[in-house]
A = this chain, B = another copy of it.
Amino acid sequence: MSRRQLKLGFILHGVGPGWGDWRHPDANPGASTDIDFYLRQAKVAEAAKFDFLFVADSVHITEKSSPHYLNRFEPLTILSALATHTTHIGLVGTLTVSYSEPYTVARQFASLDHISRGRAGWNVVTSWLSGSAENYGKPVHPPHEVRYRIAAEHLRTVQGLWDSYEDDALVHDKASGRFIDPAKLHALHHKGEFFSVRGPLNIARSPQGQPVIFQAGASEEGRNFAARHAEAIFTEGASFESAKAYYDDIKARAAGFGRDPSRLAVLPALRAIVGRTEEEAGRLYGEAVGLIRVEDALVALARAFNEHDLSQYPLDGPFPDIAAYGAQSNRSTSERIVAAARADNLTLRQAALRFASPRREFVGTGTQVADAIGRWFAGGAADGFIFFETLPRQLDAFAAEVVPVLRERGLFRREYEHATLRGNLGLDVPENRNTAARRQQAA
């Protein structure tokens, strides 16, 4: 009976994600470390019944990095701060497996899940900038396929730790003085290629059992990782066609791994610009693009090419032959850029500015943007979106203009169905593996 529902996330990044967004006259350039700014956005997103807040991350900057990378909160701290001022919206944090310890990661997300009473999600990333290694005393950033082997083992270890306590392990029997049932507290005894963790974790199983796993795999290894392990996938959504191809591919891979593809939400990025009229939307789009400096757009582009210095090439010459640098870092994005530059015969300047600008397809009135969203959703390119605020108060505009249209069309909730992220995403609480083992032994 229940119709397929759109899932909506909101990405918190303080200053806008575009290189020039912070330059807007109404923008707060200190937003990225302004707790009041974050609290306000969290409340607006929750009032609009978004499924979750999402905090991206990176562990390395240079003086050339984008404003929203240069100065940002560590994800778990800001999400914990927001947890006690919200009640239903999910709290998804990015944390790299390349430079973290499973025991610590398991504790952090389990704590957030307890603090939020069941709203934590972990966006598992492998940190694709080689500069990250230098902040963690590692001589070389591990190659792509090794990073995904690390990721799989790290995630398996964290998920094992989350099941350390069976749900009824804390007996709290005051009369006898038995605080726990020791038979229901399980050490993990993991010894693998990259990690060795005894366990058990020092926190009870959290309300969701397992915090929700997000991922953003785009390469061959990344797609398999996401299709195998993720419950929600954050994807770029460069065009309807590429998003649709990605969607079909991921769902097929998930089915191939024996999973129910409907339990895996594919969520492209959505940098919509919404106006009360078409004219206002067009004007806002012009403002956003006008704020981008070409030198910044070049640096933004370089992130997909392992931070290769693009200033050495003529701006108005043909797009340079730099595909090899992309293969070293963000392979899928770099390949898409190279293909687009070749197809449309773009200069370096044109390619950089296009890459840095919001997509025109999602610029318009509430109805127009809802139309575009509906096309992607009904057309099988997305299960929902992760919305980015570009210009100031675009979250408010989206909530006021787009969300009501989506509701009228029966695509989006009027009230939260649940108070947990799993519940709102239509995901079950997994049975504790140790309880399951006990049950199977008994049978």
The answer to whether B203 and A35 have CB atoms under 8 Å apart is no
Contacts of A30 in B (CB 8 A): 170, 172
Bitwise, A37-53 to B at CB < 8 A (1) or not (0) is 00100000000000000
Q: Could you name 30 residue pairs across A and B whose Cβ atoms are closer than 8 Å? A: A22-B172, A23-B177, A24-B174, A25-B174, A27-B174, A30-B170, A33-B111, A33-B114, A33-B204, A35-B114, A58-B202, A63-B182, A65-B202, A70-B185, A72-B202, A74-B108, A74-B110, A74-B111, A77-B77, A77-B108, A77-B111, A78-B80, A80-B80, A80-B81, A99-B103, A100-B101, A103-B135, A135-B199, A136-B197, A137-B197
Tell whether A107 is near chain B: CB-to-CB under 8 Å. yes
Contacts of A131 in B (CB 8 A): 198
Number of interface residues of A (CB under 8 A): 74
A58-B202, A73-B111, A82-B84 provided; 12 other pairs, C-beta below 8 A? A23-B174, A29-B170, A29-B174, A67-B179, A69-B202, A71-B165, A73-B115, A77-B115, A78-B111, A79-B80, A81-B84, A137-B196
Assembled-state Cα–Cα distance A110/B73 (Å): 8
Would A172 and B29 be within 8 Å (CB), given that A137-B195, A137-B196 are in contact? yes
Q: Which 8 pairs between the two chains have the least Cβ-Cβ distance?
A: A63-B182, A80-B80, A29-B172, A134-B198, A137-B196, A77-B111, A74-B107, A74-B111
Bitwise, A382-413 to B at CB < 8 A (1) or not (0) is 00000000000000000000000000000000
Tell whether A97 is near chain B: CB-to-CB under 8 Å. no
Bitwise, A292-312 to B at CB < 8 A (1) or not (0) is 010010000000000000000
The answer to whether A73 and B137 have CB atoms under 8 Å apart is no
The residue from B61, B85, B111 contacting A202, defined by CB atoms under 8 A apart = B61
Closest residue of B by beta carbon distance from A85: B84
Looking at A29, A137, A165, the one whose CB has the most chain B CB atoms below 10 A away is A137
Tell whether A76 is near chain B: CB-to-CB under 8 Å. yes
Contacts of A101 in B (CB 8 A): 99-100, 136-137
Nearest-neighbour CB distance to chain B for A159, whole angstroms, equals 16
Tell whether A380 is near chain B: CB-to-CB under 8 Å. no
Of residues 197 to 222 in A, which have CB atoms within 8 Å of B's CB atoms? 197-200, 202-204
The answer to whether A99 and B104 have CB atoms under 8 Å apart is yes
Contacts of A353 in B (CB 8 A): none
The answer to whether A78 and B115 have CB atoms under 8 Å apart is yes
Of residues 168 to 186 in A, which have CB atoms within 8 Å of B's CB atoms? 170, 172, 174, 177, 179-180, 182, 185
Assembled-state Cα–Cα distance A196/B111 (Å): 29
Assembled-state Cα–Cα distance A303/B99 (Å): 31
Assembled-state Cα–Cα distance A73/B107 (Å): 7
Contacts of A77 in B (CB 8 A): 76-77, 80, 108, 111-112, 115
